[in-house]
Amino acid sequence: MSNHLVTKTHCATGLQTISRRIVMSWILGGVYCGIIWLVFAKLKLMRLSLPLAIILASVGPGLIVVLLFCAQYFHPYTKQAIVIAQIDPITAQLSTNGRVKEVFVSPNVPIQAGDVLFTVDPIPYENAVEVAKAGLEQAKQNVQLSESTVELSRATLVRAKADLTYATNDRDRYQKLRESGGASQDELERAVTLFQQSDAALTQAEQSLKQAGISVGVAKAKQTQAETTLANAEYDLQQTTVKAPADGYVTNLQVHPGMLLGPATGPVMSFIRDTDERQKGVVVAVFVEKNFLRIRTDQYAELAMDAYPGEILTGRVLNSINVSGKGQLVAGGMVPTDLADGKPTQFAVRIQLDDVDSYPLPGGAQGQAAVYTGDVQIAGIPIMFLIRANSWMNYLF
């Protein structure tokens, strides 16, 4: 269906171009014939001979064809010019569902940046914040408890090392006494047993200290997680109050008290921003690639907007967008095919009006545009005539 519509659009564009050329040919031919009639028949400034008539009949149409060719090539013209508005889709960025409590705005009424658009019942989100705060406090206490366990394990390790040193010395002393007959076998065995117990206690103390260190890391990780949970809960609470992102007004208002909003809910209203100074008086015109590259920044342009029939708005080329959707490939697992469909590619050009205040243009306003490149300037006359004629035709159609 979409390909069929695109084909119909291109066909319609081609027919409009052909009809425009035919009309211009008839107009220029009529003007040429009128000049001949005026010079040779009405005013009789010259005598019309057969050789002269042959020259006029052959050279004149040829000049008209050349003029039309230069006009349509050196001075781009389009019937696709539009004013683009900045529109923000508004929704509540909530991670859980909530019900709208109150709506503070009305459609198409000007508001300022920061004004409250609507609110969501904050009670569940306030409770979530309190729960998150309690969880964070518990996590902090667990960190303190784990750190105190580390200190206790370190003290135990120091004591175990001292006990092992004492037991080692005692064992060595009894071994020497036993060799000299100054100690019994039972006393030596008790000293050896004490040494083994002290060595095992040291190993256990080292493991306990290591485990306590791991517990501290786990406790700190849980504290970080609790802090993140609290931050998310506070963010959700902030999102229960939805404010205007800029000066402008709301339209397509689809939100009402009691409405359930959540992560899966789409935009509930459209926010139309006031046009900033950078976008004020900017019209986007679309030209075919045949003569798009002849357009340069600061070239003179004329526009015939439907909102101002009979008037020509002058301006300058602000910049051009040197890319089209046809030049973009979508990432996928298949190798692209049919990259070029043979249809003319269209490119956008931004035109800045000279008199912005006298001709306010709402978003979506359409019209026609012509850019005069400066090459073969006389060929711009038919384009000037054409755009003015179409501007006057806006009174009828």
Is there a single domain that holds both residue 339 and residue 362?
Answer: yes
Q: How many Cβ atoms from other residues are within 10 Å of residue 98's Cβ?
A: 23
Using DSSP's 3-state secondary structure scheme, residue 115 falls into: coil
Of 394, 308, 291, whose CA–CA distance to 349 is shortest? 291
Paired with 243 in beta bridges are 116
Task: Kindly report the CATH number assigned to the domain that includes residue 139.
Answer: 1.10.287.620
Is there a single domain that holds both residue 178 and residue 34?
Answer: no
Count of domains forming the chain? 3
Is there a single domain that holds both residue 152 and residue 298?
Answer: no
Residues 354-394 pLDDT 10s: 998 899 998 899 999 999 998 888 888 888 888 998 899 88
Residue 174 sits in which domain range?
Answer: 124-238
Of 16, 64, 82, 226, whose CA–CA distance to 141 is shortest? 226
Q: Write the CB contacts of 338 (distance below 8 Å, at least 6 apart in sequence).
A: none
Task: Kindly report the CATH number assigned to the domain that includes residue 61.
Answer: 2.40.30.170
Residues 94-129 pLDDT 10s: 888 999 999 999 999 999 999 999 999 999 999 999
Is there a single domain that holds both residue 152 and residue 222?
Answer: yes
Query: Lowest mean pLDDT: which of 55-59, 113-117, 231-235, 324-328?
Result: 55-59
DSSP 344-389: PPEEEEEEEES-TTTS---TT-EEEEEEE-SSSGGGHHHHHHHHHH
Distances (CA, A) of 38 to 25, 31, 32, 120, 158: 20, 10, 10, 79, 121
Q: How many Cβ atoms from other residues are within 10 Å of residue 160's Cβ?
A: 21
Is the per-residue pLDDT at 31 higher than 90?
A: no
Is there a single domain that holds both residue 351 and residue 290?
Answer: yes
Mean pLDDT across 54-58: 64
Is there a single domain that holds both residue 308 and residue 372?
Answer: yes
Q: In whole angstroms, what separates CA 134 from the centre of its chain? A: 38
Is there a single domain that holds both residue 280 and residue 389?
Answer: yes
- pLDDT (0 to 100) of residue 25: 58
Q: How confident is the model at residue 6 (pLDDT cuts 50, 70, 90)?
A: very low
Q: Specify the pTM.
A: 0.67
Task: Kindly report the CATH number assigned to the domain that includes residue 266.
Answer: 2.40.50.100
